Structure 1
Amino acid sequence: MKRRLTALALIVAATAAGSAWYLHSKQPQRAGERVLEHLQAAVEVRYDERGVPHIQARHEIDMYRALGFVHAQDRLFQMEMLRRLARGELAEVLGSQLVDTDRLFRTLGIRAHADAYARKLDLNSPSGQALQAYLDGINQYQAKGARPLEFDLLGIEPRPFTVADTLSVAGYMAYSFAAAFRTEPVLSYVRDRLGADYLRVFDLDWRPQGVLDQPLSAGDWRDLGALASLSHRALSDAGLPQFEGSNAWAVSGSRTASGKPLLAGDPHIRFAVPAVWYEAQLSYPGFELYGHHQALNPVASLGHNRDFAWSLTMFQNDDVDLIAERLNPDNPEQVWYRGQWVDLQRREEVIRVKDAEPVTLTLRRSPHGPLINEALGATAGQTPIALWWAFLETDNPILEGFYRLNRADSLAKARAAVEKIEAPGLNVVWANAAGDIGWWAAAKLPRRPAGVNPSFILDGAGGEAEKDGFYPFSANPQEENPPRGYIVSANFQPQSPSGLAIPGYYNLPDRGQRLDQRLADASVKWDLENSQALQLDPGSGYAQRLLAPILDDLRGAAANPRERDLVEQLAGWNGDHSLDSTAASLFNQLLYQLSEKAMADELDPAFYDNLLSTRVLDSALPRLCADRTSPWWDDRRTEAVERRADIVRAAWQASIAQLSSSLGENPAAWRWGALHSLTHGHPLGRQQPLSWLLNVGPFAAPGGHETPNNLSHKLGAAPWSVVYGPSTRRLIDLADASTALGSNPVGQSGVPFDAHYSDQAEAYIAGRYQPQHLDPADVAAHTRSTLRLLPPRQAQ
């Protein structure tokens, strides 16, 4: 027995030692020396206490090559998954369950567009050279560095990263912005199947003629619902960044304590491990920038230095049209276009599948764009639906635009840089130390025919889907140095200087209004401290706006003194989603039950589920509550005709029952923090034990949907998992940019078991900010290790 126990102990020890060695071998190298081919001179990389690299080079190209190397050390698996998702190549490593997702992305045309665009990109331009050097740094690491743990688990064979991969990921990011995929089928269904009275809550015009001379069939509607579901599922299940919204504001020196502009920004993106942004300070003689980088992108999407700073929000303009095509009854390979039958274009692509035979796709395209309902494969309906997408239709020199924005220290330079960002639509909020502040909506806005409402599926045969070019950049919403002394951007519908109506899927105005009310207070001098409080504000006026018309109905629904007390808590609630709030829990449960009791009976389950993920529902619910005669209140599943009070009562009873079953009968236990939590999910973290090893969390989460601290969940029954929120919080006072503050939701590294894999997660959820070291003395004081990247001749 003793010998057997000794042998077992030796086996366990050897296994533990082997595991420790294996995991250690996967860790990034942040100290010592490393040869990097093609360098002109040595590059020094100092790592601070959060694992942020501070890269000092003598030459620009060396700087970008070093960035690619250190970025790959920390995020190679993220880079691999993003390019595979964007290019429809996930099934090759994850198996047949990803074929539908791959088919969707192949159908969208991102891969084909990126390949074609890469062939014409000017790689001799400064931005093109920066991209090539950066990709070379990634590929050198991949060739000689540690293979990620996830590559071993999935059997991924490394292959070089290319310019087309970077452009494909840009296409995925643009696609993740596009709300039309899940919104336009739902709105068209309401218009064409339910009618004008039902459409009224969405505040959209109604045209009784429908989409086509011959209405869409039941099969077509099923396919549209399935397509919207597939689009939503492909994004939500990927465990990768998806852009959702954002806050940003700039305050001029007349309104700050320091007398210089202050910039704040927190882009709202789906949470994941690793985090979306990779922080790095880059410098070579004549250039310095502390930037936030996306995977496979050499230039910073967010950044600052001593002279200027900028942040981004989503413009949320509608840059996607879904178009119902008319097929030639005598030739199914033709559609009616501008007065004649024209041939569809065809191409074939092959999806490699890990555990099955390859899948060959035949992808067709009309003059309006790819036929996207063919993403459903053999179940595609009778009516082809084409996709017109600005990303596929514009020159979109976005790499050049951000390269210039990384160097834009004046209003004129910033404006010129932003003009080159054509898709996806973005708001760029910018400030400089000279005292200027500015905001520009970046997008190519299409000239649609008068009277066309692109919120619905358009008729491809009737001319309403045609575009007469694009409006000039001067028509885009923008402001420079406004007299009020501040600019705020929070995804609400902006105004064009030319009065141009800009269709879009904008967020509720409440978050922007709350920020505007506070920034408008002329008695406040803004600094880093009170700006933190504003970014972390967990409140919203949305609840009061929605509840006011139905308070009497709620009072009538309360069945006992305890419930009546809960109604009065809601009536007096200020909208704050703090961790100890009971009212926040009750309101969010009631919000879901109101939508479910009022709307689920009229909609196909797929359409209703998609509606829960749209921004139009946020706007529709207050209008619904204010309209006691809306036909939505009648439950079609009963013979009686229900009214608002009946549905409010049913929603109230269901809310009380759900919260009681979740946390018990005592309402004091229904605290927001007990029901609202954030877990950062790894792409492989959906199964045990990988979920335990790779995911980070859960954490009780303050804030909520459309509060300034926008930690948002999908509308549904308690408990709630936070889906997206501030992907970073940044504050830069341009009186002294070396005092800039920020936060990372998880950590710098995407390497499991690395010290910086999740070292910032607790500070983030607690609302603590970290210094972003910029000054050389400050960087030196916080350096924890130094890596020297050497050209081969110096290493010999």
Structure 2
Amino acid sequence: MKRTLTALALLVAAAAGGLTWYLHGKQPLRDGELRLSALQAPVTVRFDERGVPHIRAEHEADMYRALGYVHAQDRLFQMEMLRRLARGELAEVLGAQLVDTDRLFRTLGIRAHADEYASRFDGDSPAGRALLAYLDGINQYQASRPRPLEFDLLGIAPRPFTVADTLSVAGYMAYSFAAAFRTEPVLSHVRERLGADYLKVFDLDWRPQGVVGTSLAAGDWQDLAAIARLSHAALEGSGLPQFEGSNAWAVAGSRTASGKPLLAGDPHIRFAVPAVWYEAHLQAPGFELYGYHQALNPVASLGHNRDFAWSLTMFQNDDVDLIAERVNPDNPEQVWYQGRWVELERRTESIAVKGAAPVELSLRRSPHGPIVNDALGQAAGSTPIALWWAFLETANPILDAFYQLNRADSLDKARAAAELIEAPGLNVVWANAAGDIGWWAAAKLPLRPAGVNPSFILDGAGGEADKPGWQPFAANPQEENPARGYILSANYQPLATSGIEVPGYYNLADRGQRLDRHLSDATVKWDSANSQALQLDTGSGYGPRLLAPILDELRAAAADERERALVEQLAAWDGDHRLDSLAATLFNQLTYQLAREAMADELGETFFDSLLYTRVLDSALPRLTADADSPWWNRQGSETRESRAQIVADAWRASLEHLRDQFGDDPGDWAWGRAHTLTHGHPLGQQPLLARLLNVGPFAAPGGHEMPNNLSHKVGPAPWPVVYGPSTRRLVDLADAERALGGIPVGQSGVPFDAHYDDQAAAHLADQYQPQHLSETDVAAHSRGTLRLLPR
């Protein structure tokens, strides 16, 4: 027995040692020397205490090649999954359950568009040379180092990364902005099936003629509901970044303590592990930038140096139209377009499926764009719904735009760079050490026929879907060096001094108004300390605004003194979502229950669920509670007409019942931090065993939906997992840019078991900022390893 136990112990030790050796071989190299092909001179990469690379090169191409190499060693699996998602190739490694997602992305045409764009890509332009060198660095890493753990688990065979992959990922990012996929079907359903009175809460112009000339059948409405559901499911289940919102402001030197402009920015992005951003400090002769990079993109999306800084928010202009086509009754391959029948284009594609036969697709396109019903396969209804998407219709030199923005040290250069951003729409908020601040709502905005409301499904036969041209960039909302001394962007409806209307799916004004109220206080001199306090604000006026009209009805609904005490907590609540707040928990459950009790019976479960994923619900609910005569209060099929008081009472009782079921009978146990948590999900973390190894969290999370510290959750029943929030919180005072602050929510590395896989997660939730080392003195003092890349 002793010999048996000894042998068993040796086997266990050998297995443990083998596993340790195996995992060690997967870890990034942050010290030593490596040789790379095509380098013109040695490159030094110093890694600081957070694993951020500080790259110094003698040639720009070497700099980007080195960036590609170190980015790949930290994030190769993220790069692989993003390109597969964007190009509709997930089923090849994840199996048949991903066929629907792949079919959606193939139908959108991202893959085909990227391939066509890549065929005419200018590799001799400055931005083109940067991308090719960066991709070469990625491919050299992939060809010379062990495959990531996830590649082994999924059986992924490495293949080179290409220009088309980068362009495809840009398409995915643009798609993740496009709220129209999830909003237009719902609003059109309300208009067509319920009528004008039901649209009032959404504050939209109503066109009583509906979808002119094209009658949508029951099957077509099912299509639209399925497309909306598939759209958000493809994003929700991917474990990959998705852009959602953002705050950014620039304060002129006249309003700062230092006398120089200060830039603040916190882009709101879906949380995942690894996080969307990869921080890197790049230096080459004539160039230096501390930037935030996306996977497969060599140029920084956010950045700063001693001379200038910028941040981004989503413009949220409506750059997507869904269009109902009229089919020729004598030829289903033709649709009516500009006075004649025209043929639909067809192409075939094949989806490789792990462990199963390939799935063959037949995809159609009308003159307006791809037919999105094809994403549903054989289940598609009879009316083709076309997608017009600015991303597919513009030249969109976005790589050139950000290459120039990485070097834009003057207003003229920054404005010229912003003008090249055509889709998706972005707000560029910028400042420089010379004292200028600027904001440009950057997008190519289409001209539309008079009276057309793109919030609804458009009629493809009547001309309302046509685009006669584009607005000039000068007409876009923008501002430079305003007299008030600051610029703010927070996803609300922007105003253009040119007077043009910019349709879009904008966020509530509450968040922007709260930020503006602080920034407009002329007695405040802004610095890093009070700017941090503003970014970390967990309050909102939204809750008190929504509750005010129904407080008396809630008091009447309370069954006893204990419940009346809860109502009075809501009445006295200031809207702050602190970890210890009971009122925040009660309000968020009540918000969902009010929406369900008032709207689910009219919409049905599928469209109601889609509504929960839209921004229009946020703006509708305060208008609903303020209107006691809204038809939404009446239950469909009821023999009597329900009142607001009855529905509020039902929502109150259902809310308390749910919270008791989830957290116990004692409201003292209903604290917000218990109900509102953040877990950073890995793409493979939906499997229980892998979840324990690869996911990061859960953490109790302050903040909430549509407040400055926008740790946001879906409107729904408790508990509330945080979906998205600040992907970084940056503060750059251009009087001392070498002491800028930032950080990311998880860690630099996407390599499991690496020291930098999750080393920033707790600090991010604890509202801690990280120093961004820019000066040679700081970089040298904080270096934890040096990797020298030598020419081969």
- TM-score tier by shorter-chain length is over 0.9
Separation in 2, partners of 1:451, 1:67: 49
Give distance in 2, aligned partners of 1:291 and 1:438: 19
Q: After TM superposition, give the deviation of residue 145 of structure 1 in Å.
A: 1.2
Q: Which residue does the alignment assign to 2:745?
A: 745
Q: Is the contact made by 1:274 and 1:747 (CA closer than 8 Å) also made in structure 2?
A: yes
Deviations 1:417-456 (A, max 9, x none): 0000000000000000000000000100000000000000
Query: What's the counterpart of residue 226 of structure 2?
Result: 226
Alignment-derived partner of residue 284 in structure 2: 284
2:377 is aligned with 1:377: yes
- Corresponding position of 1:427: 427
Hey, what's the Cα distance between the residues in 1 that align with 2:529 and 2:595?
Answer: 39
Q: Deviations over 1:263-296 (max 9, x none)?
A: 0000000000000000000001111000000000
Aligned to 2:245: 245
Distance across 2 between alignment mates of 1:637 and 1:232: 30
Q: SS in structure 2 opposite 1:117?
A: helix
In 1, the alpha carbon distance for the partners of 2:559 and 2:350 equals 61
Q: Is the 8 A contact 1:42 1:790 kept in 2?
A: yes
The one-character-per-residue Cα deviations of 1:603-651 (angstroms, maximum 9, x if unpaired) are: 1211110100100000000000011011100122533321100000000
List aligned pairs for 1:7-26, cutoff 5 A.
7-26=7-26
CA distance in 1, matches of 2:282, 2:214: 59
Find the residue that maps to 1:396 and give its secondary structure: coil
Q: CA deviation at 1:49?
A: 0.1
Conserved 8 A contact 2:213-2:461: no
Aligned counterpart, 1:324: 324
The residue type paired with residue 189 of structure 1 is H
Distance in 2, Cα, partners of 1:658 & 1:640: 27
Cα distance in 2 between the residues matched to 1:214 and 1:749: 52
Separation in structure 2 between the aligned mates of residue 75 and residue 398 of structure 1, nearest angstrom = 22
Secondary structure of the equivalent of 1:491?
coil
Mapped contact 1:212–1:324 kept (Cα < 8 A): no
The one-letter code sitting in structure 1 at the alignment partner of 2:122 is D
State the TM-score, normalized to the length of structure 2. Answer: 1.00
Which letter does structure 2 place at the counterpart of 1:216?
L
Amino acid at match of 1:647: I
Secondary structure of the structure 2 residue equivalent to 1:341: strand
2:459 is aligned with 1:459: yes
Matches within 5 A, 1:400-549: 400-549=400-549
Partners of 1:213 and 1:429 in 2: CA distance: 44
The 8 Å contact of residues 511 and 708 in structure 2, kept in 1 or not, is answered as: yes
Matches of 1:469 and 1:241, distance apart in 2: 33
Q: How much does 1:769 deviate?
A: 0.5
Alignment of 1:97-496 (within 5 A): 97-496=97-496
Matched, 1:38 2:38: yes
The answer to whether residue 47 in structure 2 is matched with residue 53 in structure 1 is no
Q: Give 1:215 deviation, angstroms.
A: 2.1
Residue by residue over 1:325-352, the C-alpha shift from the partner in whole angstroms, topping out at 9 and shown as x without a partner, is 0000111110000000001111111111
Q: Which runs of 5+ in 1 are unaligned?
A: none
Q: Which moved more, 1:773-782 or 1:210-219?
A: 210-219
The one-letter code sitting in structure 1 at the alignment partner of 2:613 is S
- Greater shift after overlay, 32-41 or 638-647? 638-647
Runs of 4+ displaced beyond 6 Å? none
Partner of 1:614: 614
Cα deviation, residue 214, structure 1: 4.3
Deviations 1:776-796 (A, max 9, x none): 00000000000000001xxxx
Q: Between Structure 1 and Structure 2, how many residues are aligned? A: 792
Report matched runs for 1:726-745 at 5 Å.
726-745=726-745
- What is the CA–CA distance in structure 2 between the aligned matches of 1:66 and 1:455, rounded to whole Å? 45
Query: Which stretch of the first structure deviates more once superposed, 630-639 or 678-687?
Result: 630-639
The answer (yes or no) to whether the contact 2:213–2:462 under 8 Å persists in 1 is no
Contact 1:368 1:386 (8 Å CA) reproduced: yes
1:84 matched residue in structure 2? 84
- The amino acid across from 1:355 in the alignment is G
Distance 1:679 1:3 in 2: 46
Aligned partners of 2:743 and 2:720: how far apart in 1?
23
Correspondence for 2:584: 584
Q: CA deviation at 1:213?
A: 2.5
Secondary structure of 1:141's partner?
Answer: helix
How many Å separate the matches in 1 of 2:657 and 2:604? 25
The letter of the residue matching 1:784 is R
Contact 1:27 1:146 in 2 (8 A): no
Is residue 776 from structure 1 mapped to residue 776 from structure 2 by the alignment?
yes
Measure, in 2, the Cα distance between the counterparts of 1:254 and 1:557: 53
Do 2:592 and 2:717's aligned partners in 1 also have CA atoms closer than 8 Å? yes
Partner of 1:707: 707
> Whole-Å Cα distance in 2 between the matches of residues 571 and 351 of structure 1?
55
Q: How many Å separate the matches in 2 of 1:385 and 1:457? A: 9
For 2:395, give the aligned amino acid: D
CA distance in structure 2 between the partners assigned to 1:319 and 1:581 by the alignment:
39
State how far apart, in whole Å, the 1-side matches of 2:287 and 2:205 are: 51
Q: Which amino acid aligns with 1:262?
A: L
Deviations 1:118-175 (A, max 9, x none): 1112110000000000000000000001210000000000000000000000000000
Residue pair 1:282, 1:289 contacting (<8 A) in 2 also: yes
Secondary structure in 1 aligned to 2:642? coil
Q: Which amino acid aligns with 2:220?
A: D
Counterpart amino acid of residue 325 in structure 1: E
Matching residue of 1:646: 646
Name the amino acid aligned to 1:157.
A
- Partner in structure 2 of residue 687 of structure 1: 687
- What secondary structure sits across from 1:114 in the alignment? helix
Mapped pair 1:569 → 2:587: no
CA contact (8 A) 2:30 2:787 kept: yes
Question: In 1, Cα distance between the equivalents of 2:728 and 2:214?
Answer: 49
In 1, Cα distance between equivalents of 2:562 and 2:435: 56
Q: Using the alignment, how far apart are the partners of 1:657 and 1:2 within structure 2? A: 59
Rounded Cα–Cα distance in structure 2 between residues aligned with 1:637 and 1:573:
36
**What letter corresponds to residue 649 of structure 2 in structure 1?**
R
Find the residue that maps to 1:603 and give its secondary structure: helix
Check if 1:603 corresponds to 2:603: yes
Give the counterpart letter for 2:118 in structure 1. Answer: A
Q: Give the whole-Å Cα distance in 1 for the aligned partners of 2:500 and 2:113.
A: 30
Query: C-alpha offsets along residues 45-83 of structure 1, whole Å, 9 cap, x if unaligned?
Result: 000000000000000000000000000000000000000
Q: What whole-Å deviation, never above 9, does each CA across 1:200-254 have from its counterpart, x for those lacking one?
A: 1111122222113242101100111011100110010000000000000000001
- Spell out, residue by residue over 1:381-427, the C-alpha distance to the aligned partner (whole angstroms, 9 max, x if none): 01000000000000000000000000000000000000000000000
SS in 1 for 2:247: strand
Q: Aligned partners of 1:639 and 1:276: how far apart in 2?
A: 52
Contact in 2 for aligned 1:47/1:784 (Cα 8 Å): yes
Hey, what's the Cα distance between the residues in 1 that align with 2:245 and 2:292? 17
Cα shift readout 1:542-591 (whole Å, capped 9, x = no counterpart):
01111111111111111111111111111111110000000000000000
Q: Pairwise CA RMSD of aligned residues?
A: 0.7
2:213 partner amino acid: D
Aligned residue type for 2:408: A
Deviations 1:306-364 (A, max 9, x none): 00000000000000000000000111110000000001111111111111101111111
SS class of match (2:128): helix
- The offset of 1:667, in angstroms, is 1.2
Percent of pairs with identical residues:
77
Cα distance in 2 for residues equivalent to 1:179 and 1:489: 19
Q: How does 1:639-678 map to 2 (within 5 A)?
A: 639-678=639-678
